[in-house]
A and B are shown apart, each in its own frame.
Chain A
Amino acid sequence: MHEFLQQVFSGFSTGAIYASLALALVMIYRSTELVNFAQGEMAMFSTYIAWTLVSAGLPFWLAFLATLTISFIGGMAIERIVIRPVENAPVLAAVVVTIGLLLIFNSVAGWIYSYTVQDFPSPFHDRPLLGALMTTRDLGVIAVTLVMLVLLFCFFRFTTTGLAMRAAAQNPASARLCGIPVGRMLAIGWGLAAAIGAIAGIMVAPVLFLDPNMMGGVLLYAFAGALLGGIASPIGAVVGGLIVGVTENLVGTYLIASQLKLTVALILIIIVLVVRPNGLFGTATVRRV
């Protein structure tokens, strides 16, 4: 029982990371109906930025905030420079562009930082808590994710810009007629997604160690989480990410060799797509015409 609970808690902590990245995917999907295959590599690149800043002697949390800011600006720039030109192109063209971004970020990171695996500092020491049920690291990751979620919720729920972003995602033509600059809203969405991804990367790097391919598996789990929750549902992404994290941990511990854990994610994606194509939370909005 003790081991089981241990695995559940550590599953929550990895799940929180998947949930963050899944949320980034969902945010972009909702506003542009585009799956951003580069989300993981963008997060990896952000993590290298954090690593550079920490290595340069910046205190961890200062480097953390600086990285989020840089990632936010970088995400907006990517939207402006790379995504906007294919905004009205067929979806496939846009998808190819995000795959291109994935390759670019991966090779540029390899070129700048080399493919050698680096240690990444954790701000939470790995001390046992609650009679070794969980560790301070698990708790720290979950807490950071929670704070992020609450801030995002308040932003979208209570600020004018957040509301305008939801409107622009839902009905861009009407949003323009209300005077909302839809292009700027999309750019902010990409910036936010990049910053959320940066948090996921920074949280996962102490466990996985930092290298340019670090986020490949994480992105797959995040996809599984996003699809499980319903690719257009932010709450779904969070719940889906947590479920995937816990499942992955339990399956890896009790059922199969941990080398096969990634297979579990793929099987999960396939099952969801077959059984519930709209995901757990993918209900259509109430509509009466």
Chain B
Amino acid sequence: MAPILTLNGVKAFYGQSEVLHGIDVAVEEGGMTVLLGANGAGKTTALRAICGVVRSDGEIMFAGKPLHGRSTEEIAALGIAHVPEGRGTFVGLTVEENLRLGAYTRRGRPDAGMGRMYGYFPILAERRRQQAGALSGGEQQMLAIARALMMAPRLLVLDEPSFGLAPRIVEDIFVIIERIRREERVSVLLVEQNAALALELSDHAYLIETGYVVASGTAKQLADDPQIRRSYLG
């Protein structure tokens, strides 16, 4: 299958400092690809470069279109839904309003999509009139994912969906992510600290260290690599 997203020699900058030094990444259509790496390696920055949140250099192609020079909102409208680090829910708005905002680029009646999301996450239906800020961490993560899916994206970008959640809830969330990937036919690009879990679910994996891709391959190849086992799978 052809990749839906490719990064070619992508550099990224905060002000003058270069944080990514030319990385190559490809996300297969319909698959799940994971970026692994220690804290501060540049995983979040790579996702931000894709969505045009940080200044970047190099070639980023999505579904045959270059993303360079496009604003974040244009990139979203092309079909990339990004759940950022820290979830990015609108805490002062209700659950339902958050979901309506997810469908902003579609400009149609969002109700159909909303029903499907309540199907994946029944707890959100119960809380639809509550302020998003009053949800638990796990519920907020579900809301963030549901909000992103309301866009009917072709690529779902998730930055550490397990962050700060109890292990049992993390598993629930990953089960749902896997189900959504199949049922919504959406490609997924994932950043995850929990390498064991992520490698189990993904097809392809990249290991990033201090702004370089230092290993890549199928998830199985990386999971079997003795050095990666020692450093990341403990």
Binding site for B on A (CB under 8 A): 160, 163-164, 166-167, 170-171, 173-182, 285-289
Instruction: State in angstroms the CA–CA spacing of A177 and B72 once bound together.
Output: 6
Interface flag for B88 (CB, 8 Å):
yes
CB-CB < 8 A to A288: which residues of B?
A: 133-137
Q: Are A179's CB and B76's CB within 8 A?
A: yes
Per DSSP, chain B at the interface is: mixed
Question: If the complex has contacts A170-B92, A181-B73, A287-B91, are A163 and B131 also in contact, measured as CB distance less than 8 A?
Answer: no
Interface size counted on chain B using CB atoms at 8 A: 31
21 contacts between A and B (CB under 8 A): A160-B100, A163-B93, A167-B97, A167-B101, A170-B93, A174-B89, A176-B71, A176-B76, A177-B72, A178-B104, A178-B147, A179-B76, A179-B77, A179-B104, A179-B151, A180-B73, A285-B131, A286-B131, A286-B134, A288-B133, A288-B137
| Mask of B126-139 contacts with A, CB within 8 angstroms, 1/0 | 00000101111100
CB-nearest residue of chain A relative to B164?
A289
**Contacts A167-B101, A170-B91, A177-B88 known; 10 new A-B pairs at CB < 8 A:** A160-B104, A160-B107, A163-B101, A170-B92, A175-B101, A176-B71, A176-B72, A178-B147, A287-B133, A288-B136
Interface flag for B105 (CB, 8 Å):
yes
Interface flag for B102 (CB, 8 Å):
yes
Q: Which 8 A-B pairs have the closest CB atoms?
A: A179-B76, A179-B105, A174-B88, A176-B72, A285-B92, A287-B133, A179-B77, A286-B134
Instruction: State in angstroms the CA–CA spacing of A288 and B135 once bound together.
Output: 7
Question: Distance in Å from the Cβ of B140 to the closest Cβ of chain A?
Answer: 9
Q: Are B90's CB and A167's CB within 8 A?
A: yes
Question: If the complex has contacts A178-B105, A179-B105, are A173 and B92 also in contact, measured as CB distance less than 8 A?
Answer: no
Question: Which listed residue, B76, B134, B136, touches A177 by the CB 8 Å rule?
Answer: B76
Question: Which listed residue, B88, B91, B136, B137, touches A173 by the CB 8 Å rule?
Answer: B88
Q: In B133-186, which residues have CB < 8 Å from any A CB?
A: 133-137, 147, 151
Q: Are B73's CB and A166's CB within 8 A?
A: no
| Mask of B88-123 contacts with A, CB within 8 angstroms, 1/0 | 111111000100111011010000000000000000
Question: Distance in Å from the Cβ of B127 to the closest Cβ of chain A?
Answer: 12
CB-CB < 8 A to A171: which residues of B?
A: 88, 90-91
Question: If the complex has contacts A173-B88, A285-B133, are A178 and B93 also in contact, measured as CB distance less than 8 A?
Answer: no
CB-CB < 8 A to A160: which residues of B?
A: 100, 104, 107
- In the complex, the number of residue pairs spanning A and B with C-beta atoms less than 8 Å apart equals 79
Question: Distance in Å from the Cβ of B74 to the closest Cβ of chain A?
Answer: 8
CB-CB < 8 A to A179: which residues of B?
A: 73, 76-77, 104-105, 151
CB-nearest residue of chain B relative to A177?
B82
Instruction: State in angstroms the CA–CA spacing of A164 and B133 once bound together.
Output: 18
CB-CB < 8 A to A173: which residues of B?
A: 53, 84, 88
Q: Are A176's CB and B131's CB within 8 A?
A: no
Which of B81, B84, B91, B136 has most A Cβ within 10 Å?
B91
Q: Are B88's CB and A286's CB within 8 A?
A: no
CB-CB < 8 A to B82: which residues of A?
A: 177
Q: Are A176's CB and B91's CB within 8 A?
A: no
Q: Are A170's CB and B73's CB within 8 A?
A: no
Q: Are A177's CB and B51's CB within 8 A?
A: yes
Q: Are A163's CB and B105's CB within 8 A?
A: no
Q: Are B76's CB and A178's CB within 8 A?
A: yes
CB-nearest residue of chain A relative to B89?
A174
CB-CB < 8 A to A166: which residues of B?
A: 90, 92-93, 97
Instruction: State in angstroms the CA–CA spacing of A151 and B77 once bound together.
Output: 30
Question: Distance in Å from the Cβ of A156 to the closest Cβ of chain B?
Answer: 11
Question: Which listed residue, B101, B134, B135, touches A180 by the CB 8 Å rule?
Answer: B101
Question: Distance in Å from the Cβ of A137 to the closest Cβ of chain B?
Answer: 38
